[in-house]
């Protein structure tokens, strides 16, 4: 196993060396086609991002809630407007009971820890993503926990009202699978994270820069869908078929 | 002000009545139209088929024919659109290139000239018929002639306008396309005529005789009694009867 | 997937022959018409609702123009950043190289199965077939792609690959796959595919994707999709391979906002696809999901032929939304397979020949357009496809691959049309000649050059006098009754002429 891994590393290194020498030829070929020497200074990009009128566009809080709700619903999702995290807790536990959920998985986030779902849902097995008590369990274990789950619960990092989208960033404590593999997805959106435009979210990724990006950033705008059979809409093809967005605050 | 008519080869040969209607209508507004007889065809059939050398030969003739006038107007958005390709056609000939740009700048499709230059949207016509309109692709998409014909028609007394379903769809003419890809072209014109029939209009009006010849040809083939007219003809007939 | 390309299953050697066959397939025409119409209307509605569409379109075009004009810089930047994220980046000049790299990775990983999300680049490379040749199962996981893979076909639309199949055909295919009878009900069929593919995702060794956009400044790759299969493919298997056309680059996430505004609206009329995912490298060591190892293969495969070519460089701006297909009246009548290549519709008619160096291999594909410009009007980044089609035709003629008879005809056309006297003489000859065939002002015979035309139409005959014949009389008549020109009209005309001399004004061309 060890020697195999080592040769794999060697193989990767060989591939990399090949790639680097190819890169020079490949990029030079492009410069040549463009009939000029390779550009090494960042070119001035006068059209970066959305037009100015758009960057100035902003909705009031009520408009954001209204528009998020109507967009998310028209994509087949469900939206609840809740005052407090206690209401969110009540909603989730009632939903889990009414669906007779046997397996629940949630991200390991302080707001979700505080809901104490583990004790509120004694009939369900509630897994907490990548929890330390299960240290030593690898990706295979977590893949199985997410795949078996009836409900996945996440906190949204951002949301955009204009498109009705929730944004989740992956991390050690935030599994990409949690918002993907379960049958039902519940995402809690703290009101202050609900923006008007996608651009208000994107700007964080540009400003934070490469080093601060997680491996996965996902914008989710409703339940999984397809129109591939006779253009007839089907919900829940691969991802969650039922999605709740809980706007809290 | 010298205003010259670019009749286009199709209207010259087959539909002289369109040119006559244009000239007579414009006379009402004091526009004394000239007709330089050295003109021929815009060269589009050759240009679109990839024969640019041949297209250049005819474009040359057109550029010279209209060199000394202030405005050039034609009954076809497509042929006017072809003039817009002349600068590209002569991009390696500085002298002709400049002349091509000058010609482009002074070329107008008929309704463009009427509305944008003369400022006319009501010619005082009466035409008590049910009318539908096919916006030809080159005029509407490439020259942007969209509002002008609608404004002119909306001011014709008695004219009952019925929108053509899927009006923006190409009629399937496309010059040599209709010959080279005759089956596809045939399917397209058949569908266009199906839509014309749906409107139950008595008259189909348009701004390009090539497209209208195509649609009229299919209407006649199917023995449909819809009358097909250029808008200039409709307006002139409406003025005569007013 | 048959993997043998699009040339084998639609019958007919030429675009014309395949198109004629498609035109006789009533179901195909209805299915394609119905769906493209829905997508087109969805786009129009989304454009209107969003507002300022022309400004967004112009912005999209400018971002793409800028990126492609500096592609060496941005591609290099992307590569360095992706490497810094832990991605293994590879370069492939040709399809063969891209396939070779993909297979080496699969062999090295001793992979038994690959799950794929929709990718037009892999269609270009016929990668599924190559994987099967080394006994690696390649499973398409997009619902439409899975269906056509079972049918052994290729996609006939960029966005809706199985646009040409109805639910009964799909039910038959899936029933055979399932080994039991499935009812032709969309939710039953999709439910079956969900269960079946869920297993495939969990078992697969490699996940393979295309790439909608690659962000140079952060080395991230972005995928747009509705089903969640691309997320599965990039989350569940331990190795991820992404095949990316070298032109997929945009500089920043801010630029992504513009693309995210244009792409889904143009493709399906959605404000955003259900999922938009930005993947920045393999899983971090502390993460509990995501691939351990990630490869990105940057593919040229003919794309650089358009670089530096002023007539075709804009082709690289394409964001693969399919709006030109939905807008195209020709596509709607003949469907995607008639085009005979990986890409169909107006973009395919231009892209397929452009990706090939050898003009002699060009099909008559560029002729399958009436040049109506609907594609240009629909394009969210304003690619003048209708003009490129003319350029392709010209290049074919210039390279000596034109039709001999047509060339002679065009030469004759130029001879006649460059001198009005000759034109007049030909008209007179025509009037004489038509006496044999014209009846009551119409010509209905179906022979010679009129065969195709008169199979659907009646041709008008030439009137007794052409316009130029009448002009003398007409001119004399109107000179008599000429009205005085209104002073405001006169001054407007003078102003227009003056402004024109100053280079202002102009009632422009469509782009």
Q: What is the secondary structure of chain B as a DSSP string?
A: --EEE---HHHHHT-HHHHHHHHHHHHTTT--EE--TT-----HHHHHHT-HHHHHHHHHHHHHHTTT-SEEEES-HHHHHHHHHHHHHTTT-HHHHHHHHHHHHHEEEHHHIIIIIS--S----B--SEEEEE--HIIIIIS---HHHHHHHHTSBT-EE-PPTTTTS--S-TTTHHHHTHHHHHHHHHHHHHHHHHHT-SEEEES-HHHHHHHHHHHHHTT---EEEEHHHHHHHHHHH-
* Set of chain C residues whose Cβ sits within 8 Å of the Cβ of B50: 390, 392-398, 402
- Residue of chain C whose Cα is closest to the Cα of B48: C390
The pLDDT of residue A139 is 84
Whether residues A136 and A244 share a domain: the answer is: yes
| pLDDT digits 0-9 by tens, A143-188 | 999 999 999 999 999 999 999 999 999 999 999 999 999 999 999 9
CB contact under 8 A, A237 and C193: yes
| pLDDT digits 0-9 by tens, B118-144 | 999 999 999 999 999 999 999 999 999
Whether residues A243 and A130 share a domain: the answer is: yes
B48 touches chain C (CB under 8 A): yes
Asked if the structure places residue A34 within a domain, the reply is yes
| Two structure tokens written together for A248 | 């809290």
Low-confidence ranges of chain A (pLDDT < 70): 1-6, 134-135
Whether residues C299 and C441 share a domain: the answer is: no
Does residue C207 register a pLDDT over 70? yes
Domains of chain B, each with CATH number or no CATH? 3-117 (no CATH), 130-241 (3.40.50)
The pLDDT of residue A87 is 97
Does residue C374 register a pLDDT over 80? yes
Task: Name the residue facing C280 among A8, A23, A213 (closest C-beta).
Answer: A213
Task: Name the residue facing A48 among C186, C255, C290 (closest C-beta).
Answer: C255
Kind and range of the H or E element at C102? helix C95-108
CB contact under 8 A, A172 and C286: yes
The pLDDT of residue B42 is 96
Four-CA torsion C196, C200, C202, C206, nearest 10 degrees: -160
CB contact under 8 A, A206 and C254: yes
Q: What gap in Å lies between CA A44 and CA C323, rounded to an integer?
A: 30
* Set of chain B residues whose Cβ sits within 8 Å of the Cβ of C469: 16
Among the listed ranges B94-103, C251-260, C449-458, which one has the minimum average pLDDT value?
A: C449-458
Asked if the structure places residue C371 within a domain, the reply is no
Asked if the structure places residue A209 within a domain, the reply is yes
CB contact under 8 A, B43 and C468: no
Would you call A192 exposed, middle or buried from its count of C-beta atoms within 10 A (0-12, 13-18, 19+)? exposed
Residues 94 through 113 of chain A touching chain C, CB cutoff 8 Å: none
* Set of chain C residues whose Cβ sits within 8 Å of the Cβ of A16: 88
Contact C31, C166 (CB under 8 A): yes
Name the H helices within C209-361.
229-235, 253-268, 323-327, 329-334, 345-354
Dihedral class, residue C236 (left if φ above 0, else alpha if ψ from -120 to 50, else beta): alpha
Whether residues A16 and A90 share a domain: the answer is: no
Query: Among C356, C327, C323, C352, which residue's Cα sits nearest to residue C337?
Result: C352
Domain count, chain C: 2
Residue A3: domain span? 1-38
Whether residues C410 and C297 share a domain: the answer is: no
Residue C459: domain span? 404-501
The pLDDT of residue A34 is 96
| Confidence label for C451 from pLDDT (cuts 50, 70 and 90) | confident
Query: Which residues have a Cβ under 8 Å from the Cβ of C340 and sit 6 or more positions away?
Result: C6, C7, C10, C15, C18, C352, C363, C365
- Residue of chain C whose Cα is closest to the Cα of B117: C493
Contact A231, C38 (CB under 8 A): yes
CB contact under 8 A, C19 and B184: yes
* Set of chain A residues whose Cβ sits within 8 Å of the Cβ of C161: 228
Whether residues C423 and C289 share a domain: the answer is: no
Domain end: C265, C282, C305, which one?
A: C305
How many percent of chain B have pLDDT more than 70?
A: 100
Asked if the structure places residue C359 within a domain, the reply is no
Does residue C503 register a pLDDT over 80? no
A209 touches chain C (CB under 8 A): yes
Domain end: C305, C320, C351, which one?
A: C305
Does residue B235 register a pLDDT over 80? yes
A196 touches chain C (CB under 8 A): no
The shortest C-alpha distance from A246 to chain C (Å) reads 17
The shortest C-alpha distance from C442 to chain A (Å) reads 44
Asked if the structure places residue C296 within a domain, the reply is yes
The pLDDT of residue A231 is 81
Asked if the structure places residue C138 within a domain, the reply is yes
Whether residues A20 and A90 share a domain: the answer is: no
Residues 110 through 169 of chain A touching chain C, CB cutoff 8 Å: 129-130, 138-139, 142-143, 146-147, 162-165
DSSP per position, C163-181: TT--HHHHHHHHHHHHTS-
Whether residues A27 and A132 share a domain: the answer is: no
Whether residues A75 and A109 share a domain: the answer is: yes
DSSP per position, C37-92: HHHHHHHHHHHHHH--HHHHHHHHHHHHHHHHHTHHHHHHHHHHHHHHTT-EEEEE
The shortest C-alpha distance from C64 to chain A (Å) reads 10
The pLDDT of residue B203 is 98
Task: Name the residue facing B105 among C393, C465, C506 (closest C-beta).
Answer: C506
Chains contacting C with at least 3 CB pairs below 8 Å? A, B
Domain end: C246, C281, C305, which one?
A: C305
* Set of chain C residues whose Cβ sits within 8 Å of the Cβ of A27: 72, 75-76
Whether residues A33 and A65 share a domain: the answer is: no
The shortest C-alpha distance from C141 to chain B (Å) reads 34
CA angle (C275 as vertex; C273, C281 as ends), nearest 5: 130
Give exposure, B50-64, as e/b (b: 16+ Cβ within 10 Å).
Answer: bbbebbbbbbbbbbe
3 state SS of C150: helix
The pLDDT of residue A134 is 67
Whether residues A234 and A111 share a domain: the answer is: yes
CB contact under 8 A, C330 and B108: no
Whether residues C300 and C416 share a domain: the answer is: no
Asked if the structure places residue C508 within a domain, the reply is no
Q: What gap in Å lies between CA B57 and CA B53, rounded to an integer?
A: 7
Whether residues A239 and A124 share a domain: the answer is: yes
Contact A158, A201 (CB under 8 A): yes
Under 8 Å CB pairs connecting chains B and C tally to: 255
The shortest C-alpha distance from A181 to chain C (Å) reads 8
Does residue B115 register a pLDDT over 60? yes
Under 8 Å CB pairs connecting chains A and C tally to: 290
| pLDDT digits 0-9 by tens, B187-206 | 999 999 999 999 999 999 99
The pLDDT of residue A224 is 97
Query: Among B207, B15, B184, which residue's Cα sits nearest to residue C453?
Result: B184
Whether residues A31 and A129 share a domain: the answer is: no
A197 touches chain C (CB under 8 A): yes
The pLDDT of residue C4 is 35
The pLDDT of residue A135 is 64
| pLDDT digits 0-9 by tens, C262-293 | 999 999 999 999 999 999 999 999 999 999 99
Q: What gap in Å lies between CA C350 and CA C317, rounded to an integer?
A: 13
Beta strands in A112-233 (DSSP E): 125-128, 151-155, 158-160, 165-169, 184-190, 194-195, 216-220, 225-226
The pLDDT of residue C3 is 36
Asked if the structure places residue A171 within a domain, the reply is yes
Whether residues C446 and C300 share a domain: the answer is: no
Q: What gap in Å lies between CA B242 and CA B237, rounded to an integer?
A: 9
Residues 81 through 140 of chain B touching chain C, CB cutoff 8 Å: 81, 84, 104-106, 108, 112, 116-119, 137-138
Does residue C7 register a pLDDT over 50? no
C331 phi and psi, to 5 degrees?
-55, -45
| pLDDT digits 0-9 by tens, B36-51 | 999 999 999 999 999 9
CB contact under 8 A, C108 and A11: yes
The pLDDT of residue C6 is 39
Asked if the structure places residue C193 within a domain, the reply is yes
* Set of chain B residues whose Cβ sits within 8 Å of the Cβ of C326: none
Whether residues A1 and A106 share a domain: the answer is: no
CB contact under 8 A, C497 and B182: no
The shortest C-alpha distance from B15 to chain C (Å) reads 8
Asked if the structure places residue C118 within a domain, the reply is yes
Domain count, chain A: 2
Average pLDDT over residues C333-343: 92
The pLDDT of residue C482 is 81
Q: How far is CA A248 from the centre of its chain?
A: 19
Kind and range of the H or E element at A113? helix A110-113
The pTM (predicted TM-score) of the whole model is 0.94
Whether residues C54 and C188 share a domain: the answer is: yes
Residues 226 through 245 of chain A touching chain C, CB cutoff 8 Å: 226-232, 234, 236-240
| Two structure tokens written together for A220 | 């989710």
Chains contacting A with at least 3 CB pairs below 8 Å? C
The one-character DSSP state at A34 is: T
| pLDDT digits 0-9 by tens, C79-136 | 999 999 999 999 999 999 999 999 999 999 999 999 999 999 999 999 999 999 999 9
| pLDDT digits 0-9 by tens, B53-90 | 999 999 999 999 999 999 999 999 999 999 999 999 99
Kind and range of the H or E element at A89? helix A85-98
Q: What gap in Å lies between CA C155 and CA B42, rounded to an integer?
A: 40
CB contact under 8 A, A50 and C254: yes
Q: What gap in Å lies between CA B25 and CA B233, rounded to an integer?
A: 9
* Set of chain C residues whose Cβ sits within 8 Å of the Cβ of B169: 329, 374
Average pLDDT over residues C369-393: 96
Beta strands in A16-92 (DSSP E): 78-82
When computed from its CA atoms, the radius of gyration of chain A, rounded to whole angstroms, is 22
Asked if the structure places residue C327 within a domain, the reply is no
| Two structure tokens written together for C481 | 């009754």
The CB-side HSE value for C27 (13 A sphere, CA atoms) comes to: 8
The pLDDT of residue C5 is 38
Residue A87 sits in a domain whose CATH number is 3.40.50.10420
Whether residues A12 and A67 share a domain: the answer is: no
Among the listed ranges A30-34, B231-235, C17-21, which one has the minimum average pLDDT value?
A: C17-21
The shortest C-alpha distance from B27 to chain C (Å) reads 5
Q: What is the number of other CB atoms lying within 10 angstroms of the CB of residue C195?
A: 9
Contact A120, A97 (CB under 8 A): no
- Give, in order, the Cα–Cα distances in Å from B59 to each of B16, B39, B109, C178, C326: 22, 10, 17, 64, 34
The shortest C-alpha distance from C430 to chain A (Å) reads 51
Whether residues C69 and C217 share a domain: the answer is: yes
Instruction: With an 8 Å CB cutoff and a minimum of 3 pairs, decide whether chains A and C touch.
Output: yes
Which of A226, A233, A245 has the most C C-beta neighbours within 10 Å, making it the best mutation to test the interface with C? A226
């Amino acid at each position: 196993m060890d020697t195999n891994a080592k040769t794999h590393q060697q193989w990767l290194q060989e591939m990399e060396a090949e790639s680097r020498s190819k890169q020079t030829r490949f990029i030079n070929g492009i410069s040549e086609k463009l009939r000029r020497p390779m550009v090494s200074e960042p070119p001035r990009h006068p059209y970066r991002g959305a037009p100015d009128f758009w960057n100035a566009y902003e909705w009031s809080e009520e408009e954001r809630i209204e528009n998020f709700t109507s967009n998310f619903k028209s994509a087949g999702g469900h939206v609840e407007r809740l005052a407090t995290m206690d209401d969110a807790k009540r909603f989730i536990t009632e939903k889990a009971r009414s669906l007779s959920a046997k397996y629940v998985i949630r991200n390991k986030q302080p707001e979700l820890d505080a809901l104490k779902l583990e004790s509120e849902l004694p009939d369900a097995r509630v897994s907490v993503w990548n929890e330390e008590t299960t240290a030593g369990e690898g990706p295979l274990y977590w893949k199985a926990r997410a795949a078996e789950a009836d409900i996945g619960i996440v906190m949204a990092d951002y949301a955009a009202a204009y498109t009705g989208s929730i944004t989740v960033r992956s991390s050690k404590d935030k599994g990409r699978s949690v918002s993907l593999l379960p049958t039902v997805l519940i995402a809690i959106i703290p009101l202050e994270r609900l923006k008007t435009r996608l651009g208000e979210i994107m700007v964080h990724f540009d400003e934070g820069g490469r080093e601060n990006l997680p491996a996965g950033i996902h914008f989710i705008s409703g339940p999984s869908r397809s129109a591939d059979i006779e253009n007839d809409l089907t919900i829940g093809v691969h991802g969650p078929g039922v999605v709740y967005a809980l706007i809290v605050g | 002000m010298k205003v010259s008519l670019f009749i286009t080869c199709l209207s010259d040969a087959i539909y002289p009545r369109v040119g006559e209607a244009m000239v007579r209508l414009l006379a009402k507004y004091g526009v004394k139209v000239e007709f330089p007889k050295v003109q021929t065809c815009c060269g589009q059939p050759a240009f679109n088929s990839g024969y640019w050398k041949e297209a250049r030969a005819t474009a040359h003739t057109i550029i010279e024919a209209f060199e000394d006038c202030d405005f050039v107007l034609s009954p076809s958005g497509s042929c006017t659109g072809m003039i817009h390709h002349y600068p590209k056609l002569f991009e390696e000939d500085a002298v002709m290139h400049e002349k091509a740009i000058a010609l482009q700048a002074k070329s107008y499709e008929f309704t463009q000239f009427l509305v944008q230059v003369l400022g006319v949207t009501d010619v005082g016509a009466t035409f008590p018929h049910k009318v539908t309109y096919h916006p030809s692709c080159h005029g509407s998409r490439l020259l942007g002639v969209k509002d002008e014909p609608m404004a002119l028609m909306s001011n014709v007394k008695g004219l009952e306008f019925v929108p053509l379903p899927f009006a923006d769809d190409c009629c399937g003419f496309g010059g040599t396309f209709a010959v080279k890809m005759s089956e596809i072209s045939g399917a397209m014109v058949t569908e266009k005529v199906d839509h014309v029939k749906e409107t139950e209009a008595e008259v189909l009006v348009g701004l390009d005789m090539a497209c209208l010849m195509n649609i009229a040809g299919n209407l006649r083939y199917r023995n449909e009694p819809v009358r097909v007219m250029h808008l200039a003809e409709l307006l002139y007939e409406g003025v005569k009867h007013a | 997937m048959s993997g043998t390309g699009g040339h084998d299953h639609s019958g007919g050697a030429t675009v014309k022959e395949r198109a004629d066959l498609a035109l006789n397939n009533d179901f195909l025409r209805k299915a394609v018409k119905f769906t493209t119409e829905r997508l087109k209307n969805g786009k129009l509605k989304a454009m209107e609702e969003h507002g300022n569409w022309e400004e967004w379109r112009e912005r999209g075009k400018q971002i793409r123009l800028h990126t492609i004009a500096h592609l060496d810089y941005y591609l290099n930047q992307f590569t360095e950043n992706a490497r810094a994220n832990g991605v293994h980046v590879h370069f492939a000049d040709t399809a063969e190289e891209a396939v070779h790299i993909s297979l080496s990775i699969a062999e090295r990983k001793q992979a038994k199965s690959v799950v794929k999300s929709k990718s037009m680049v892999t269609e270009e490379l016929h990668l599924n077939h190559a994987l099967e040749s080394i006994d690696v199962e390649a499973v398409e996981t997009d619902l439409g792609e899975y269906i056509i893979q079972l049918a052994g076909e290729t996609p006939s639309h960029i966005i809706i690959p199985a646009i040409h199949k109805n639910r009964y055909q799909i039910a038959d295919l899936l029933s055979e796959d399932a080994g039991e009878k499935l009812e032709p009900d969309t939710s039953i069929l999709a439910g079956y595919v969900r269960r079946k593919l869920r297993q495939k995702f969990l078992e697969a060794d490699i996940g393979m994707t295309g790439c909608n956009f690659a962000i140079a400044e952060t080395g991230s790759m972005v995928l747009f999709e509705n089903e969640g299969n691309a997320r599965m493919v990039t989350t569940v298997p331990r190795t991820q391979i992404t095949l990316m056309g070298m032109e997929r680059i945009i500089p920043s996430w801010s630029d992504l906002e513009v693309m995210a505004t244009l792409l889904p609206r143009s493709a399906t009329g959605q404000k955003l696809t259900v999922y938009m995912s930005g993947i920045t490298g393999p899983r971090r060591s502390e993460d509990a999901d995501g691939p351990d190892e990630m490869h990105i293969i940057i593919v040229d495969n003919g794309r650089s032929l358009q670089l530096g070519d002023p007539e075709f460089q804009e082709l690289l701006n394409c964001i693969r939304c399919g709006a030109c297909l939905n807008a195209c009246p020709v596509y709607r009548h003949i469907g995607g397979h008639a085009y005979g290549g990986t890409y169909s519709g107006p973009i395919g008619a231009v892209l397929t020949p452009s990706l090939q160096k050898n003009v002699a291999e060009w099909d008559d594909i560029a002729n399958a357009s009436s040049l109506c410009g609907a594609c240009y009007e629909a394009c969210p980044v304003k690619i003048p496809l209708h003009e490129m089609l003319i350029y392709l035709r010209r290049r074919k003629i210039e390279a000596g691959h034109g039709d001999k008879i047509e060339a002679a005809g065009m030469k004759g056309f130029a001879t006649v049309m460059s001198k009005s006297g000759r034109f007049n003489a030909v008209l007179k000859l025509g009037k004489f000649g038509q006496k044999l065939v014209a009846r009551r002002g119409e010509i209905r015979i179906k022979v010679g050059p009129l065969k195709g035309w008169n199979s659907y139409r009646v041709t008008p005959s030439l009137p007794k006098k052409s316009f130029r014949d009448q002009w003398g009389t007409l001119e004399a008549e109107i000179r008599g009754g000429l009205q005085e020109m209104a002073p405001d009209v006169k001054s407007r005309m003078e102003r227009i002429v003056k402004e024109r001399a100053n280079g202002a004004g102009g009632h422009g061309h469509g782009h």
